[in-house]
Amino acid sequence: MRLPQLLLVAGLAARPLAAQANAERIANDRYTRSHDYDLIHQRIEVGNFNWDSTSFDGRVTTTLVARRAGLDSVILDAGAKLVLKSVTAGRAAGATLRTSRHGDTLVVYLAKPIGFGDTARFTIAYHGVVESGHGLTYINPEGRPHRPRQIWSQGEDHDNHYWFPTYDFPNDKMTWEVVATVPKGMNAVSNGRLVSDVVGQGGARTVDWLQDKPSATYLVSLIVAPLAKVHDTWRGVPVDYYVYHEDSALARPLYRVTPDMIDMYSRLTGVNYPWAKYAQTTVADFFGGMENVSATTLVDWLPGRRDYQDRPWYLWILIPHELSHQWFGDYVTTENWANMWLNEGFAEFMPGQYWLHKQGARAEEDYYLDEYSQFMQIDHDQRMPLAAMGSNNIYPKGALVLEMLKHYLGEQRFWASVHRYLTDHAFDNATTDDMRQAVLDATGENLDWFWDQWIYQAGYPEFVVSAKYDSSAQTVTVVVQQTQQDSSKADSTGLRYTTPQVFRMPVDIRVGTATGDITARGELARRQDTVVVRGVKSTPTMVVFDDGNGILKRLTFEQPTAWLATQLDRDPNLWNRQWVIEQLSQRKGDTAAVAALARAATKAEYFLTRAAAVGVVAELPVLQSAMKDTSAQVRAAAVEALGSLSGAAAQVAPLARDAWLHDSSDAVRAAAVTTLALSDSASRRAVILEALRTTSYRDAIQIGAYRAIVRSADTTLVDTVDARAGEQRFALHALAAMAGRGSSHALDLLTKRLDDERGYVRRWAVEAFRFSLPRDVAQPRLQAISATLKFTDTRQAVADLLQQWR
Ligand SMILES: [Zn+2]
């Protein structure tokens, strides 16, 4: 959303902002929880796991130190469903201690009050019952492939107390030991170093893991599953990959990058990887990854050999993101969840730094370009600051603000600041202001204004720029207006997030001429600023505002096509090029614009620029040439663009068929299925059926087929789609999409799947009703059948959904 404001008061002074920032910071401090003891260590013993009753037996010995005189009771978080057997003083078998329970709170009364700084120790034995998905998730195979029986824990934010009594908040670090006894054929992976691994009677296995350096309790982790271990090392530190046995051949090609990433992060931060080992373990039905300290949990979507050309998210983001949390989140941890961007912003930022150092500046810009589009979408939906409780943009905006900070400070001062932040708060907690302090201590520069506008306040500058050349004065005068509006409304509690009227930042301007470039730096500090570039001896060939893309922004800058074309040819920065492509794509009848885009589509040296230009150029010869590109992403963009080429169906179908039959990339083939099915109705059915039979990484090709079915609105394929309901959740989403386009048969079949004998199919069906069917179709149908549903779990899920929609 852009709100151009035409009448601006030039020279309006930046308003003082400190009051607002300070208020926001104090408000964030308020989210830190108080308690009157210091957790030192927990020994967590678990066994007797039962998948039918989602239960186990547990015994937890807690050691803590009193933080007040006369501490007579200890308040712990403990799930209400944990059934206490005994609570005794000491390690075990001591005197029984009195307890009381209030919902998810357990109070342990000590035998006698202890003094400030004194130590208490007690042991809680219990029968653990969990609601699967809360603290622990129990997975049964349900007859599906690639899905061994397993259990995984998930603590963040406040879920670990559902499986063991603890202090479930990030601001009290402890060491711990997890001793798990698991059934024959299974393994148990947890945090820290392996103490022992013993197979006992009947094949039951007891694995003892010791996390001997302190970290936060939400990072306590346990995975129980039949797992193969693939071993690696970094400077003698074990680096292990635990995957299903059937995946063992896929593990090393994917994870072997890990030691190099550990090395890179250690060098960049100046803090060596701090933990006794690094394990990455795959589990089923996981949302992505979780940075449990020294024992990351990851989803089980391992790419195969041919999938690497499509740059799998798993390798590009997931592995380096979770790894960087071992420093940012696990070593230094946010003090409360209102400062969570310190964890997630850094973790989202760091992969871009890894790729910068491995693949160069374009790869770095490529990485943050994606963050930029995510952030713009999120900010458009709801504008929030980074450092706020429940902030919606901590990942992309966190990454972008840190990248901007690095650009502002320069590499050396930036990494010195990061080093300071990590070492000042090692094995401890931090707030947003601690990071500002670290920059101040490392560089001498107080960035309170930067923190205020980018971290404590919301939004970003929306620049409207104009440039004028004066040949007699040999100057280019650049007028920069900031047009962002502070228009957010207060919520029901009166809390309102502000957007700065003025973002203060230095900006670089580059003017191209026939005899070379001239650059100038301006300081933006007002609603309207003017930057004069001097010594421009000949007519400019281009004017680049924010050379190097140092500011997170939106830009409106009307200029001649010739300038844009020159910039597209010459500007190395990917954000800038992407912006130029967007400008040129709006100049439809302009042959110079089309020629510039065609040149970029075939000749730009980085694939992302070629792919972006291909997407807007809509010229058959350009697309034909792009289909021979070495980059799969460019070929996929070309095949996709072919589909929208009007009046060329005769040429489109053979090209799409060729890509479908012969391309080595599944992403290209998936795009080809859709384009081919839509451009050649005679072969549509055969192509779609063949695509549905073709397996591919994360079902890319089958999804292409479902997309083709939905977009062609071919209702003769509804039964075919329904027949695949047990194999892919997308089949149910396709049914829902077709129902949404008016197919009553699709709606009936989807409704029937709510009574499917297989629980996971029923869950997928509910999900399809919720996400892929317009509510005005879904709601009346669910209301009509909710009372007749066969299975209680589905009845409950449908009732919950209807309640939510009410
Ligand atoms: Zn993360």
Indicate whether 495 pLDDT > 90: no
Q: Is the peptide bond before 629 cis (omega within 30 degrees of 0)?
A: no
In whole numbers, what is the pLDDT of the chain averaged over residues? Answer: 94
> Given strand 150-153, what is the order of strands in its sheet?
136-139, 150-153, 222-225, 187-190
Indicate whether 585 pLDDT > 80: yes
- The one-letter amino acid code at 134 reads H
- Burial class of residue 745 in the structure, from the number of CB atoms within 10 Å of its CB (0-12 exposed, 13-18 middle, 19+ buried): middle
Rounded to the nearest whole angstrom, what is the distance from the C-alpha of residue 330 to the centroid of ligand 1?
Answer: 11
What pLDDT does residue 9 have? 29
Rounded to the nearest whole angstrom, what is the distance from the C-alpha of residue 575 to the centroid of ligand 1?
Answer: 24
Rounded to the nearest whole angstrom, what is the distance from the C-alpha of residue 346 to the centroid of ligand 1?
Answer: 8
Rounded to the nearest whole angstrom, what is the distance from the C-alpha of residue 324 to the centroid of ligand 1?
Answer: 9
186 contacts: CB under 8 Å, gap ≥ 6: 205, 224, 225, 226, 227
Indicate whether 367 pLDDT > 50: yes
CA distance 766 to 481: 49
Rounded to the nearest whole angstrom, what is the distance from the C-alpha of residue 145 to the centroid of ligand 1?
Answer: 29
Rounded to the nearest whole angstrom, what is the distance from the C-alpha of residue 347 to the centroid of ligand 1?
Answer: 6
Rounded to the nearest whole angstrom, what is the distance from the C-alpha of residue 274 to the centroid of ligand 1?
Answer: 18
Rounded to the nearest whole angstrom, what is the distance from the C-alpha of residue 336 to the centroid of ligand 1?
Answer: 15
Rounded to the nearest whole angstrom, what is the distance from the C-alpha of residue 318 to the centroid of ligand 1?
Answer: 9
H helix count then E strand count, the chain: 27, 28
User: For residues 683-713, b (16+ Cβ closer than 10 Å) or e, as one string?
Assistant: ebbebbeebbebebbebbbbbbbbbbbbebe
Calculate ∠ Cα 757-246-726, nearest 5°. 20
Phi, psi of 249 (to 5 degrees): -70, -20
- Burial class of residue 509 in the structure, from the number of CB atoms within 10 Å of its CB (0-12 exposed, 13-18 middle, 19+ buried): buried
Rounded to the nearest whole angstrom, what is the distance from the C-alpha of residue 290 to the centroid of ligand 1?
Answer: 7
CA distance 263 to 354: 10
Rounded to the nearest whole angstrom, what is the distance from the C-alpha of residue 397 to the centroid of ligand 1?
Answer: 13
Q: Tokens standing for 738?
A: 């077709």
Cα separation values, 616 from 139, 536, 557, 679, Å = 45, 34, 20, 19
Whether residue 2 contacts residue 462, with contact meaning beta carbons closer than 8 Å, is answered with yes
Rounded to the nearest whole angstrom, what is the distance from the C-alpha of residue 216 to the centroid of ligand 1?
Answer: 15
Phi, psi of 278 (to 5 degrees): -130, 120
Higher pLDDT, 803 or 647: 803
Rounded to the nearest whole angstrom, what is the distance from the C-alpha of residue 649 to the centroid of ligand 1?
Answer: 45
Please state the separation of Cα 134 from the chain's center in Å: 21
Rounded to the nearest whole angstrom, what is the distance from the C-alpha of residue 392 to the centroid of ligand 1?
Answer: 13
Rounded to the nearest whole angstrom, what is the distance from the C-alpha of residue 452 to the centroid of ligand 1?
Answer: 24
What pLDDT does residue 23 have? 59
pLDDT one-digit tens code per residue, 784-799: 999 999 999 999 999 9
pLDDT one-digit tens code per residue, 717-736: 999 999 999 999 999 999 99
Rounded to the nearest whole angstrom, what is the distance from the C-alpha of residue 509 to the centroid of ligand 1?
Answer: 35
Q: What percent of the chain has pLDDT over 70?
A: 97
Whether residue 432 contacts residue 482, with contact meaning beta carbons closer than 8 Å, is answered with no
CA distance 516 to 115: 75
Indicate whether 7 pLDDT > 60: no
Rounded to the nearest whole angstrom, what is the distance from the C-alpha of residue 329 to the centroid of ligand 1?
Answer: 8
| Per-residue pLDDT band at 433 (split at 50, 70, 90) | very high
Indicate whether 477 pLDDT > 50: yes
Helices of type H across 519-645: 561-570, 574-585, 591-603, 607-617, 620-626, 632-643
Calculate ∠ Cα 41-42-45, nearest 5°. 150
Rounded to the nearest whole angstrom, what is the distance from the C-alpha of residue 303 to the centroid of ligand 1?
Answer: 21
Indicate whether 600 pLDDT > 70: yes
Task: Tell me what the mean pLDDT of segment 60-89 comes to.
Answer: 98
Rounded to the nearest whole angstrom, what is the distance from the C-alpha of residue 426 to the centroid of ligand 1?
Answer: 19
Q: What percent of the chain has pLDDT over 90?
A: 92
| Per-residue pLDDT band at 649 (split at 50, 70, 90) | confident
User: 129-133, 319-323, 486-490: which has the minimum mean pLDDT?
Assistant: 486-490
- Burial class of residue 763 in the structure, from the number of CB atoms within 10 Å of its CB (0-12 exposed, 13-18 middle, 19+ buried): middle
CA distance 107 to 532: 68
Indicate whether 714 pLDDT > 90: no
Q: How many CB atoms lie within 10 A of CB 751?
A: 18
| Per-residue pLDDT band at 24 (split at 50, 70, 90) | low
> How are beta strands 295-299 and 278-283 bridged, if at all?
parallel
Whether residue 672 contacts residue 659, with contact meaning beta carbons closer than 8 Å, is answered with yes
Please state the separation of Cα 471 from the chain's center in Å: 50
Indicate whether 16 pLDDT > 70: no
Rounded to the nearest whole angstrom, what is the distance from the C-alpha of residue 800 to the centroid of ligand 1?
Answer: 29
Indicate whether 251 pLDDT > 70: yes
Rounded to the nearest whole angstrom, what is the distance from the C-alpha of residue 338 to the centroid of ligand 1?
Answer: 15
Indicate whether 21 pLDDT > 90: no
Indicate whether 22 pLDDT > 90: no
What pLDDT does residue 26 have? 65
Rounded to the nearest whole angstrom, what is the distance from the C-alpha of residue 696 to the centroid of ligand 1?
Answer: 27
CA distance 405 to 233: 33
Task: Tell me what the mean pLDDT of segment 46-73 comes to.
Answer: 98
pLDDT one-digit tens code per residue, 165-195: 999 999 999 999 999 999 999 999 999 999 9
CA distance 589 to 528: 33
Rounded to the nearest whole angstrom, what is the distance from the C-alpha of residue 138 to the centroid of ligand 1?
Answer: 23
Whether residue 498 contacts residue 457, with contact meaning beta carbons closer than 8 Å, is answered with yes
Task: Tell me what the mean pLDDT of segment 558-564 comes to.
Answer: 98
pLDDT one-digit tens code per residue, 532-547: 999 999 999 999 999 9
pLDDT one-digit tens code per residue, 76-133: 999 999 999 999 999 877 899 999 999 999 999 999 999 999 999 999 999 999 999 9
Indicate whether 6 pLDDT > 70: no
Task: Tell me what the mean pLDDT of segment 49-62 comes to.
Answer: 98
User: 8-12, 235-239, 439-443: which has the minimum mean pLDDT?
Assistant: 8-12
pLDDT one-digit tens code per residue, 197-217: 999 989 999 999 999 999 999
Rounded to the nearest whole angstrom, what is the distance from the C-alpha of residue 112 to the centroid of ligand 1?
Answer: 42
Whether residue 635 contacts residue 663, with contact meaning beta carbons closer than 8 Å, is answered with yes
pLDDT one-digit tens code per residue, 287-307: 999 999 999 999 999 999 999
